Amino acid sequence: MQQTDPEPASPTHRLSLVVPLYNERDNVAPLLAGIHEALADYPDPWELIAVDDGSGDGTAERLTAEARRHGPHVRVLTLQRNFGQTAAMQAGIDAARGDLIATLDGDLQNDPADIPRLIGRLLAEQLDLVVGWRRHRQDNIWLRTIPSRMANRLIGNITGVRLHDYGCSLKVYRASVIKQVRLYGEMHRFIPAWMSVQTAPSRIREEVVNHRARQHGESKYGIGRTFRVVLDLLSVYFFLRFLTRPGHFFGRIGLAAGGVGISVLAYLFAQKLLFGASVGTRPLLLVGVLSVLMAVQFFTTGVLSELIVRTYFSSGANSSYAVRPEGSKALAPEDGWRIRHG
């Protein structure tokens, strides 16, 4: 009788939860309570990193009070001013010490109870990123749902990483991969695309998650973000395709402009040499000269870009945020973890 090996248990790991908050004072207590309830029976050590993104409504003070109540596994980072959600998320990721990192919004619309399920799938399928998919969104359909669907389709077509919901903050990452990605501007919307630079797209999957209507506070997003997404998407396309070879990007434009300019000038030269035509006052001459000059400029820009890229990869511990000194207390590797007893 053939024996089958028992299914291997999930490997032991440490989990870091990162939650950026901005003016979410009334959501702080129920958020932390919900996270602790969802992870009450979590078998592995975990920590919670709450990042206050320069709130002006007392969110930082409420976070500090709740952290004292729950214990040292709740850490609060207070940014010096409002740097934006991307920078706040990067601050939390930098401070995270876990092997796995989970992120979620601080507005209570993400359900912390989904986190263990996303982690289970990441570990079971050996993935590097599991993205939440808010299939049944509880948002305004015209201002948020429809624009979001359009943006998700556009992002997927351009980046090649096709997901239903790029904008869901509820994600679980393998820390060794996400820490190789630096987030700037408003690039948190494109994290799966940036992750595809460091790992195979086949190791990025999505999972349906719950989505709840906002109960307290006001949404920080509106229809205007759609235009910012389009502009950011152009940057994402450039960096995904040409980050390590910007000379190819500018060189292609330079070759096209140079080809046009040389062709025009050659045509005018032939006209002058063979037929004695007057070309000095023809607009076509100006087009040819400007095209050649444009080609030279693009070639030069390409060379300078290559030099900048080499400097970028050989240096650069620049950060997109600044943490107040009192909020960046270092912990020993074994301190500050929530561990289930019994």
**Residue ranges per structural domain of the chain:** 15-243, 246-314
Q: Phi/psi at 216 (nearest 5 deg)?
A: -130, 155
Supply the pLDDT for residue 287. Answer: 94
Amino acid at 177: V
What confidence tens digit (pLDDT) does each residue in 257-275 have?
999 999 999 999 999 888 8
Considering the four listed CATH numbers 3.90.550.10, 3.40.50.1820, 3.40.1160.10, 3.40.50.11540, the one that applies to the domain covering 15-243 is 3.90.550.10
Does the global pTM surpass 0.85?
no
- Residue pair 196/131 in contact by the 8 Å Cβ criterion: no
What confidence tens digit (pLDDT) does each residue in 168-182 have?
899 999 999 999 888
Given a cut of 50, whether residue 194 has pLDDT beyond it is yes
Supply the pLDDT for residue 140. Answer: 60
Given a cut of 50, whether residue 6 has pLDDT beyond it is no
Given a cut of 80, whether residue 122 has pLDDT beyond it is yes
Confidence at 146, pLDDT banded by 50, 70, 90: low
Three-state SS letters, the chain: CCCCCCCCCCCCCCEEEEEEECCCHHHHHHHHHHHHHHCCCCCCCEEEEEEECCCCCCHHHHHHHHHHHHCCCEEEEEECCCCCHHHHHHHHHHHCCCCEEEECCCCCCECHHHHHHHHHHHHHCCCCEEEEECCCCCCCHHHHHHHHHHHHHHHHHHHCCCCCCCCCCCEEEEHHHHCCCCCCCCHHHHHHHHHHHHCCHHHEEEEECCECCCCCCCCCCCCCHHHHHHHHHHHHHHHHHHCCCHHHHHHHHHHHHHHHHHHHHHHHHHHHHHHCCCCCCCHHHHHHHHHHHHHHHHHHHHHHHHHHHHHHHHCCCCCCCCECHHHCCCCCCCCCCECCCC
Q: How confident is the model over 77-96, as a mean pLDDT?
A: 93
What confidence tens digit (pLDDT) does each residue in 281-307 have?
899 999 999 999 999 999 999 999 988
What confidence tens digit (pLDDT) does each residue in 202-222 have?
899 999 999 887 776 566 555
Dihedral class, residue 189 (left if φ above 0, else alpha if ψ from -120 to 50, else beta): alpha
